[in-house]
Structure 1
Amino acid sequence: MTEFEAERGRLVAVAYRMLGSRSEAEDAVQETWLRYAGALADPARRAEIRHLGGWLTTTCARICLDVLRSARVRRETYPGQWLPEPVVTPLGGGAPGPDGFAPDPADRAVRRDQLGTALLVVLERLSPEQRVAFVLHDVFAVPFARIAEVLASTPEAARQHASRARRAVTATDVPRHTADPAEQRRVLAAFAAATESGDLDALVRVLAPDVVLIGDSGGHFPTARRPVVGVDPVARFLLGLFARAGRYGQRLRATPVLVDGVVGLHLETVQPDGKLLRMVTAFTVHDGRITGLFHQLNPDKLHRLPALHPDATWPPRW
């Protein structure tokens, strides 16, 4: 099975971008492996595998398509807003950091050619067919003829699905993200300083006029049930959020990390009832200002996170 293991990282990357869930992506890849093992045991089916990478990609994509179709029902009943399960790695990437992050090969595969949290959120607007066509063609350069096999359609129909997805991804209401890592760090440091001081004017200066904030707690913690949009509502919401955190029995602690390949924050505090609150925040940054904030508080999606180092502080050290 060494041939399959050589393809595993790419398959995880494909599945994660389609599903927005690391655990679901791993399940899809495991199911792909089982189907591959079954094909190897059947000479007739084995003869159909002329190009292993293409066969595995097509098989994995079909599995993801089925998951996406069933997930739409689950997402409709999801409590509050939905965000993808974040892939969190050290800010330096690759090597284990002082906070104990040690990304495995699947983490590195997921981060390769990273889409970012904002785009994964936008992909949730698409139909399963549009999402599969867009990810396969625009991200992994799979020909439309092969995508048509996955969708059980024609190449022309697959092309249409990808085109509609592309229009949604580039819509004017999608938070823009053009900043390089150095600019991301600078803007986030200014953001942390403004929220720590409670300076509304300083915070407004670091937020874009049309900034959007989305929080996903999975019903475990109070959070806004709809996106908060606009510089003044978002700024006041954030100052209230961090002021509440500062009143908890233990201090707020944080460390900079990469969230889906983009600079973000891993934060922790303890609530008055003693319950640990952990949050991963992804940002989009454009023209020196934050255009989007994505707070992931759902503990079911953060179970892979290690505890913060005892020396972690707020504001975080950059």
Structure 2
Amino acid sequence: MITDEYAERFTLLRPLLFTIVYEILGSATESDDVLQDSYLRWAEVDLATVRDTKSYLARLVTRQALNALRASARRRENYVGPWLPEPLLLHEHDASADVVLAESVSMAMLVLLETLTPDERAVFVLREVFGFNHHDIAAAVGKSVTTVRQVAHRAREHVQARRKRFEPADPATTARITEQFMAAATTGDVDGLLSLLAQDATWTADSGGKTTAARRPVVGAEKVAALLVDLFRIRRRMPDARIETVNCNNTPALVAYRGDHLEGVFLIEIADSKIANFYAIRNPDKLLTVMVPRQISR
């Protein structure tokens, strides 16, 4: 019965806990590992000492996530090419009703959070996204309340200074632009692509040096359009190639297969009714569990 209570409390909050850890780490597979380790620690806690299960578990998983983030810092320093977060496959429109949650798991925000220190990232996520008080955050990151307030202020200013503010596209606009993009890309319609791309549209690819991909971001509508035409021309020559459209990180994403082999996930970021960014994740290590739907919450 006691074991059931541990599992019941943890399972009830798992979507929230997963979302916290994912936003701190940017990795769904590492988040799964953190939650598994956290549950083992949770199962040893005297439940009579737990006043607020949500706050307690949030502190627990945050500490474990910070340990994982610091341990992976050296690997990221030596990473070949751009490092992008792992895509997060969501049930259709899973986060769209919650604007704050939707933005917090967007690829653009996760990339921005990579520029923060581990402590700044954890404090920002817990405070700005999940609304935890400074006392709970202080316990989670092992800092004083005064220090946490300073870190929160610094992180918030950093994010606000670098975050581009756009009107989020409504579902109908997103669907229309995605459909037009697929039509132009599959037929090699350069003019059609250029009409959909922002002038400073960017293509960023993450291969980890393990597969073919641009080692530096490609910037500019003309260059990105040319790259897209080449990519789709190559795929048309592959009889067993197929592309499916899914929702990753609350944005349209193309999933490219060759036969049964998943070759990459390509997220399309739409801002002000134009395609602003493509995020191409081709590192096979980041594709291992990408087709497992995730439930997020805050």
The question of a shared fold, defined as TM-score above 0.5 by the shorter chain, is answered with yes
TM range (shorter): 0.7 to 0.9
Where does residue 81 of structure 2 map in the other structure? 80
Task: Give the equivalent residue in structure 2 for 1:187.
Answer: 177
- Matching residue of 1:14: 20
Tell me if the contact between 1:87 and 1:260 (Cα under 8 Å) persists in the aligned partners.
yes
* C-alpha distance after superposition, 1:11-61 (max 9, x if no partner): 111111111111111111122212222222xxxxx5542222111111111
TM-score, normalized by length of structure 2? 0.85
- Output the CA distance in 1 between the equivalents of 2:29 and 2:48: 31
Residue identity in the other structure for 1:194: A
The question of 1:29 aligning with 2:35 is answered: yes
Deviates more, 1:231-240 or 1:61-70: 231-240
Is this contact kept in 2: 1:181–1:262, CA < 8 A?
no
Higher helix share goes to which structure?
2
**Post-superposition offset of 1:172:** 4.9
Matches within 5 A, 1:79-228: 79-89=80-90, 91=92, 113-114=101-102, 115-172=105-162, 174=164, 176=166, 178-228=168-218
* Matching of residue 299 in structure 1 with residue 284 in structure 2: yes
Please tell me the residue identity of whatever aligns with 1:261: N
1:209 is paired with a residue of what secondary structure?
Answer: strand
Correspondence list, 1:220-259, <5 A: 220-248=210-238, 250-259=239-248
2:3 counterpart residue number: none
Structure 1 39/92 Cα, relative in aligned 2: closer, same or farther at 3 Å?
closer
Structure 1, 2-11 or 288-297: larger mean CA deviation: 2-11
C-alpha contact (below 8 Å) 1:176/1:291 kept by paired residues = no
Shift of 1:162: 2.6
* In 2, Cα distance between equivalents of 1:183 and 1:156: 44
Letter in 1 for 2:274: R
Structure 2: where are the runs of 5+ without partners? 1-5, 293-298
**1:16/1:50 CA distance change after superposition, 3 Å:** same
Does structure 1 conserve the Cα–Cα contact (< 8 Å) formed by 2:166 and 2:272?
no
Let me know the Cα RMSD of the aligned residues. Answer: 2.6
2:256 maps to 1:267: yes
Q: Give the C-alpha shift of residue 90 in structure 1.
A: 5.0
Contact 1:175 1:211 in 2 (8 A): no
Q: Distance in 2 between matches of 1:226 and 1:171?
A: 24
- Can you list the C-alpha shifts for 1:229-254, whole angstroms capped at 9, x where unaligned? 22122122222222222233x25411
Residues 103-152 of structure 1 deviation map (CA, whole Å, 9 limit, x = unaligned): xxxxxxxx993321221121111110111011101111011122122222
Q: Aligned partners of 2:203 and 2:163: how far apart in 1? A: 13
Separation of aligned partners in 1, 2:164 and 2:217? 13
The answer to whether the Cα contact below 8 Å between 2:269 and 2:277 also exists between their aligned partners in 1 is yes
SS at match of 2:195: helix
* Alignment partners' CA distance in 2, 1:136 and 1:93: 20
Structure 1: 5+ residue stretches without partners: 41-45, 95-110, 308-318
Percent identity over the alignment is 35
> What is the total number of aligned residue pairs between the two structures?
281
TM-score (structure 1 length as normaliser): 0.80
Distance 1:49-1:276 versus aligned 2 partners, 3 A rule: closer
Contact 1:204 1:231 in 2 (8 A): yes
Amino acid at match of 2:69: L
The structural deviation recorded for 1:260 is 1.6
